[in-house]
Amino acid sequence: MNAIERAGYTEPTPIQAQAIGPILEGKDLLGLAQTGTGKTAAFALPILQHLLSGERCTARALILSPTRELAEQTRKAFETLGKETGLFALSIYGGVSVSAQLRSLKRDMPEIIVACPGRLLDLMGQHAISLKDIEILVLDEADQMFDMGFLPSIRKIIGSLPEKHQTLMFSATLPTEIRGLAREFQKEPVRIEISNSQPVETVNHIVYPVMQADKYAVLSVILKDSATGQALIFARTKHRAQKLATRLSEEGHLAASLHGNLSQAQRDKAMQKFRSGKVRIMVATDIAARGLDIRGISHVINFDMPDTPEAYTHRIGRTGRMMHSGIALTLTTPEDRSMLKIIERLVGKPIERKIVSLGDKEILNSMDDRADTMQEPAAASNGMRDQRSTMHNRTHEKTSHRPPATHATNSFAHRAKPDSTRRSVHGSPQKSVRHTSGRHPKEYASIP
């Protein structure tokens, strides 16, 4: 209770109020709630309460996380909330020294293991860790675990647990596959669903109609005029995220990147800078879309439209957390119109459009059913249509030939062929975890 008070908790969120009781009663639970509503504390607090009695210095609770960042964040939550309990939590994931984790297992003898499935299976194969005393299993962000191809690993891990254990599943969405997981791994679970897993109501949604080649120029205006707080920008691929972060830094912004091509040390350094405020802008792939709790984020900007409405929910859930307000901005091209309609149905209302003027060019709002393309000055529009046609014919080429970029004196008018290829938003590759291969088409070198 002292730790709860120090953490600033006064009233439970809806998912906490409904989940803690059944978990304390030992029931299996399927918790569905928007990201950013306090799901970690909803299972961490009753687990800590349960572990206060019983054997110490042996692993009794296992939390499976899809990403290294979420695993480490969950471990820190247990550390904060269990500060005076004498219970120890250890995070296990790839990308870092396995010897250090082995030493900690032997030295600290943790009661709580927070792990990514890949590294956990490696240690189990070396007989370095035993799950024979696990009493509570948590599958955190269960829908992403399935999307990242973890189901075979999860089955192996669960097969190593005692037959009698409590299974908790938490997710922001409930696709058919998750219902199957619940039937397979849980016994008469209590189902708790908060607001049908829609995006949090504390987020204000805005769409910026834009041509693909003008994305960076529009983003520059947004960062200058609107997104003045900490901003998390989502790009479709690792290459685009790195390229965009580099360009923002060159233009004087305090920016960093977060994606699967970085080492764990680089990712930890970027996260620390962003959390501490030393970096104002983080450009990331969907590796940062799930579970990460950075309360200073005022804006989430979709530089690239996500491929699914569920991905949109997870992305914009990085702001407006724990009843604070936030803003979600999306740069939307004509090719994104169908996904925008789906997202608007998810949100439950039309999303506000804002138009950005780029000096000598006017971008008109043509995201309605009657228009197929954005309108540009006549001299440029035909060229853009030719570019789109050319790009369509070259979608299977590894690279494309393009004229060198030009910079206008009063805007960043970097021109490139539109990238009309949609990519999967799930399963950003990581060295330490298993994922479904072949989910990403070839990447292009240009930012727009």
Q: How far, in Å, CA of 55 to CA of 59, rounded?
A: 9
What is this structure's pTM? Answer: 0.60
Classify 208 as helix, strand or coil. Answer: strand
Structure tokens at 56: 């110490």
User: Are residues 93 and 115 in contact, defined by beta-carbon separation less than 8 angstroms?
Assistant: yes
The full set of domain ranges for the chain reads 2-197, 203-377
Q: What pLDDT, in 10s, does the model give residues 36-73?
A: 678 899 999 999 999 999 999 999 999 999 888 889 98
pLDDT at 260: 82
Q: In the Cβ-directed half-sphere of 380, how many Cα atoms lie within 13 Å?
A: 15
Q: How far, in Å, CA of 417 to CA of 408, rounded?
A: 18
CATH architecture of 203-377: 3-Layer(aba) Sandwich (3.40)
What φ, ψ does residue 207 adopt, rounded to 5°?
-115, 135
pLDDT at 443: 38
Stretches where the chain sits below pLDDT 70 are 34-36, 195-201, 227-228, 289-293, 295, 320-324, 359-448
What φ, ψ does residue 203 adopt, rounded to 5°?
-105, 130
Structure tokens at 301: 């900007």
Domains 2-197 and 203-377 share a fold: yes
Q: Give the C-alpha distances (Å, rounded to integers) separating 424 from 29, 70, 232, 302, 428.
A: 29, 20, 19, 14, 9
pLDDT at 438: 42
Classify 62 as helix, strand or coil. Answer: strand
Q: What pLDDT, in 10s, does the model give residues 315-368?
A: 887 776 555 678 899 999 999 999 999 999 888 889 999 988 876 555 544 444
Q: Which 8-state DSSP code applies to residue 199?
A: P
Q: CA angle 188-189-194, nearest 5°?
A: 145
For β-strands 112-115 and 89-92, DSSP reports them as: parallel
pLDDT at 186: 93
pLDDT at 157: 95
Q: What pLDDT, in 10s, does the model give residues 359-395?
A: 655 554 444 443 443 334 333 434 444 444 444 444 4
pLDDT at 179: 82
Structure tokens at 142: 């269960």
What CATH class is the domain 2-197?
Answer: alpha beta
User: Are residues 134 and 166 in contact, defined by beta-carbon separation less than 8 angstroms?
Assistant: no
pLDDT at 143: 80
